Amino acid sequence: MAIELVKEKWANAVHTLTIGATKEEGGTRGSAVKCGGEEGLPFLFSEGRIPYRPVIAMEVLDVAPDDWAPTLSSAIGSRLNNPADWALACEKEFKADLICLRLAGAHPDAQNKPADELIKTVKDVLKATTIPLIIIGCGEDKRDNEILPQVCQAAKGERVLIGEATQGNYKTLTASALADGHSIIAQSPIDINIAKQLNILIGDMAMPQERIVINPTVGALGYGLEYAYSIMERARLAALSGDKMLSMPFICFVGYEAWKAKEAKALREEFPAWGNQLERGIIWEALTSTAFLQAGADILVMRHPKSVDLVRNHINELMKGQG
């Protein structure tokens, strides 16, 4: 007797996000990147169309990080001191789909860089690269409200993905992104209800739903991954079942989380039984990434080039199922 595969029928699809604008569209990017648009659960091609593959953004900081593991820093080398060179390497050498520029130097507890320096960095990175850009603030609400509107204006026409908007800090950033033609990242603290409410609030300011991305705030392998996974899974099921306020693509800052894990950072001398620290770190980031792909991640923000290679090859294999 032939066994018939039971297939789900979904009532809704994830919104399609476009990042980057070409010269014909008023920007300077060589091409735009599209993501989202799923009509079914991740990689179940028999249940619904998945028009765009998940994409990988590589993280670039405006200041050389002082808390990265040496094995991570050495993969970038002296380019850590030059964001434009670092971004160019991510595009040309490491084959990233996107650049994620984090303006960490803006934080009051870091260098508290003035706005003009930060804007120069944004312009330098745009000039050095041709792939689309994600721009993240320093994470301090007051400072982000000061600098990100100016960043939005400086990148006007480029259709960047800007972030991050939170429940207590969404109005200024949303208004700036809307005025200058950018999309926005809505960050929620591993809470499906807050994610939905924030999307509603941003939408009430006339931001189109297809220009909102959800950052559900993930954790690394062994450090809350399973809880973040379940929140993403619930949100995606709700979206496909018809909830328009959760029908946005996911962005996951995997590199940021994975390289904080003790298993990724600890030296071999500290834990000899754990083996080579470089291999551990690369695998920790790659496995965290591949897990979130199954939860519905559309954009992975990563750090180590070898982790990026592993995950890119994994995505290639998964997408073969589409035929």
In tens, the pLDDT along 97-127 reads 999 999 999 999 989 999 999 999 999 999 9
Q: Output the pLDDT for position 322.
A: 81
Exposure b/e, 52-75, CB count within 10 A at least 16 = b: bbbbbbbbbbbbbbeebbebbeeb
| 11 domain residue, yes or no | no
Q: What domain count does the chain have?
A: 1
What DSSP state is assigned to residue 14?
P
Collect all residues with Cβ–Cβ distance below 8 Å to 31 and sequence separation of at least 6. 20, 22, 130, 131, 132
Yes or no: say if 254 and 311 are a contact pair by the CB < 8 Å rule: no
Q: How confident is the model at residue 199 (pLDDT cuts 50, 70, 90)?
A: very high
Q: Output the pLDDT for position 270.
A: 80
pLDDT tens for each residue of 211-252: 999 999 999 999 999 999 999 999 999 999 999 999 999 999
Q: Which two tokens stand for residue 260?
A: 């904080």
pLDDT tens for each residue of 8-38: 889 999 999 999 999 999 999 999 999 999 9
| 156 domain residue, yes or no | yes
| pLDDT at position 285 over 90 | yes
| pLDDT at position 4 over 80 | no
- Name the β-bridge partners of 34: 18
| 6 domain residue, yes or no | no
Any alpha helices (H) in 155-250, and if so which ranges? 171-179, 192-204, 225-240
- The CATH code of the domain that includes 230 is 3.20.20.20
| 55 domain residue, yes or no | yes
| 227 domain residue, yes or no | yes
| 10 domain residue, yes or no | no
| 1 domain residue, yes or no | no
Q: How confident is the model at residue 1 (pLDDT cuts 50, 70, 90)?
A: low
Domain span at residue 131?
16-317
| pLDDT at position 284 over 80 | yes
| 248 domain residue, yes or no | yes
Q: How confident is the model at residue 193 (pLDDT cuts 50, 70, 90)?
A: very high
What value does the mean pLDDT take over residues 157-165?
A: 96
Q: Output the pLDDT for position 271.
A: 81
